[in-house]
Structure 1
Amino acid sequence: MPQRPFPAVLEAAAPRDLRDLMVWPWFSLAKTPRHQPIRLDHATVRLRVEPAGSLGIATVWDADVLIWAVSQIVEALDAGLTPGARLEAPPRQILRFLGRGTGRSDYARLRAAFDRLAATRVETSLRAPLPEPARFTWLDGWETTGNGVCLTVPEWLSAAARERRVLRLDPAYFGLTGGTARWLYRLVRKMGGRQRGGGAIGLRRLHARSGSRVRYVEFVPRIRRIAASGLPGYRLTVERGGGEERLRFVRHPESPCPSTQGCGLAAEELGRSEWEERGTSPCRITGHRPADSALSSCPASEIRPYNFITSLYNRLLAADSPNPAPVDDSSGRPWRRP
């Protein structure tokens, strides 16, 4: 018997994206159909994305549907519900979540996004048990129902959402109109994390990561224009260091981390505390605290200058350093196969 669809109509869901989808070129950045495959061979990560038929590769705007699905799954788990891989909702609610209109053309574009996500074929070594790569499509299928539309997401996607391998996005992300700006925000959000001093990445490496069809000499002016206008919650600068130009990104001091939000409750009388026992704090000492994550409501611990965490393909330089090295904490752990 087919699994009963989960009613994915949680309007309070905050936008969340899978970490693995934020730093690699999974989607086309152009609004015109792309039929040329996307290929990347980076250290231990290899991927190939290609279209099926005449639809073209799924775009970074189509990927908003996956953000909606992940957000609904995580929100349902937070509410104590048990969502499955089949999500059902009225198209109007999906469009509203994505900050889009609800006219006839908007519904047509949403339907086209479903088709491209279901038709785009992906092959990657990321999280795949060697030597065989993982092969999948972004959607296992979709259909219209009496309650709207039912999307069947791949098992690996729902598993990643259940394991909270996600980051919260600034809702202003949906207002970004350029494909390169959308892709860059997700990469900066993943690489920047909560580092006080942000991070940096070389422009040539950035160009390779984008999967863009434009040449490097055309790509750099786009990055400069985006840096001049900024991205939601981040300040960007293009600088020269280490013999190459690189993009440096840092969170706006006044911008709250999108992974946390206020409780909405008014403050009590000044000086009052709910803790009656004097001299005892409910907070654990630093050594007993769990590792900080983007999903924690606790503030990030201060990083001492020149504190390095080094692994094979990942280098993290402390935020206090004036010359941060390129940041890349993407993982090469085995992909959970369907």
Structure 2
Amino acid sequence: MGKNIPKTTSPHLAPDRRKQPDFFIADIFDASIKDDMASMEHPLFALRAGDKRVRVYERTGVTVTIKPGYDGCATIHDKDLWIYCISQLVEAKNRGREISPTVHFTMYDFLRTTNRRTDGDSYERAASMLGRLKGTVIETDIRTAGQRDRRGFGLIDSWRVIERDSDERMIAVEVDLPHWLFRSVSAMQVLTLSPDYFRLRKPLDRRVYELARKHCGHQPTWKVGISTLHEKSGSTDKRFKFRAAMKLLAEADALPDYRMIFDTEADTLTFRQRENKAVRKGATA
């Protein structure tokens, strides 16, 4: 299999819209996208749009209950807002600036950074995304920065539009992140993601990538049984369908940073760091 992720059209990878030059957007990320380690470990985000089921996940002494809002649970594509805000906070912290749970940004910057289109429909979908993030409630005892939260909270505490354009599209937005997530970022309990993360089309591919990133950490490989990976992913598919999806993803070799080696006899997957990629470091990488 090739060492490099293909840049052509793929059922797994969307075109890289960020390659188009734009002199009106500040490229503050420099391919340094951050995610918090707690949410990478636990399936807080739905893999299906419109999911209105209450989901309960229990593993290694942690119980997570996800309750949907009126428009359903926030999806892993909605998590892009979290990743975007975390990346801004880490960037500011690395530059010695004061940070707070309140993050200000332009919606155009968010859309471009996360490899989205910038048409009117994309602005409307972003507004719906904010609603799902606010409406989804998590009840958990996740430990972050040495503290354990035993309470319910939204995936964002609040949001507001600071400025609109003549078409009533959101220009500038303010988001208040939950305090446990801010504590995690302040303690630099974050990991750097591949710049191609936002190109992954399928929700399950994104979830599998972040699990590989979390569990490989600074080591070159991670071996996991299909049953364990199925549970950790939060997938609601039957195990045989999940297994088939993992085989297809491994054969496509489209996962950023990692090759997937499927062992049919042992029913395991091994994630191996790509030879031409240095192991991504943590918060300050």
- Distance in 2 of aligned mates of 1:161 and 1:16: 9
State the Cα distance separating 1:225 from its structure 2 match. 0.8
- Distance in 1 of aligned mates of 2:284 and 2:174: 31
Contact 1:47–1:123, Cα closer than 8 Å, also in 2: yes
Higher helix share: 2
- Residues 1:186 and 2:202 aligned together: no
TM-score (ref. length: structure 2): 0.83
- Distance in 2 of aligned mates of 1:132 and 1:116: 22
- Distance in 1 of aligned mates of 2:280 and 2:148: 37
Aligned to 1:15: 33
Contact 2:149–2:180, Cα closer than 8 Å, also in 1: no
SS in structure 1 of the partner of residue 69 of structure 2:
coil
State the Cα distance separating 1:134 from its structure 2 match. 2.9
Contact 1:19–1:166, Cα closer than 8 Å, also in 2: yes
- Distance in 2 of aligned mates of 1:79 and 1:131: 29
State the Cα distance separating 1:209 from its structure 2 match. 1.3
Contact 1:19–1:165, Cα closer than 8 Å, also in 2: yes
Aligned to 1:114: 130
State the Cα distance separating 1:156 from its structure 2 match. 1.4
SS in structure 2 of the partner of residue 87 of structure 1:
strand
- Distance in 1 of aligned mates of 2:191 and 2:230: 23
Contact 1:89–1:149, Cα closer than 8 Å, also in 2: yes
- Distance in 2 of aligned mates of 1:108 and 1:224: 35
- Residues 1:200 and 2:223 aligned together: yes
Aligned to 1:27: 45
State the identity as a percent. Answer: 26
- Distance in 1 of aligned mates of 2:263 and 2:205: 18
- Distance in 1 of aligned mates of 2:130 and 2:147: 30
Code of the residue aligned with 1:58 in structure 2: it is A
Higher strand share: 2
Sort the Cα spacing of 1:221 and 1:43 in 2 relative to 1 into closer, same or farther, 3 A.
Answer: same
Contact 2:191–2:283, Cα closer than 8 Å, also in 1: yes
Aligned to 2:74: 58
Contact 1:16–1:166, Cα closer than 8 Å, also in 2: yes
- Residues 1:239 and 2:263 aligned together: yes
- Distance in 1 of aligned mates of 2:248 and 2:67: 29
Sort the Cα spacing of 1:130 and 1:91 in 2 relative to 1 into closer, same or farther, 3 A.
Answer: closer
Q: State the aligned residue count.
A: 250
Contact 1:26–1:38, Cα closer than 8 Å, also in 2: no
- Distance in 2 of aligned mates of 1:249 and 1:195: 10
Q: Greater RCO between the two (CA within 8 Å, min separation 6)?
A: 2
- Residues 1:42 and 2:36 aligned together: no
- Residues 1:99 and 2:123 aligned together: no
Contact 2:64–2:140, Cα closer than 8 Å, also in 1: yes
Code of the residue aligned with 1:152 in structure 2: it is D
- Distance in 1 of aligned mates of 2:81 and 2:214: 19
Which of 126, 130, 145 is the equivalent residue of 2:142? 126
1:77-113 CA distances to partner (integer Å, 9 max, x unpaired)? 1111112111111100111111111011111111111
Aligned to 1:138: 155
- Distance in 1 of aligned mates of 2:44 and 2:64: 8
- Distance in 2 of aligned mates of 1:132 and 1:296: 26
Sort the Cα spacing of 1:132 and 1:70 in 2 relative to 1 into closer, same or farther, 3 A.
Answer: closer
Contact 1:17–1:70, Cα closer than 8 Å, also in 2: yes
Aligned to 2:102: 86
- Residues 1:214 and 2:237 aligned together: yes
Contact 2:34–2:283, Cα closer than 8 Å, also in 1: no
Code of the residue aligned with 1:21 in structure 2: it is S
Code of the residue aligned with 2:38 in structure 1: it is D
Code of the residue aligned with 2:207 in structure 1: it is W
- Distance in 2 of aligned mates of 1:133 and 1:163: 19
TM-score (ref. length: structure 1): 0.70
Aligned to 1:151: 175
Q: Which segments of structure 1 move beyond 3 Å, counting only runs of 4 or more? A: 128-132
**Which structure has the larger Rg over C-alpha atoms?**
1
- Distance in 2 of aligned mates of 1:155 and 1:65: 16
State the Cα distance separating 1:130 from its structure 2 match. 10
SS in structure 1 of the partner of residue 117 of structure 2:
coil
Contact 2:158–2:176, Cα closer than 8 Å, also in 1: yes
Structure 1 unmatched runs, 5+: 1-8, 260-293, 298-338
Structure 2 unmatched runs, 5+: 1-24, 164-170
Code of the residue aligned with 1:67 in structure 2: it is I
Contact 1:10–1:76, Cα closer than 8 Å, also in 2: no
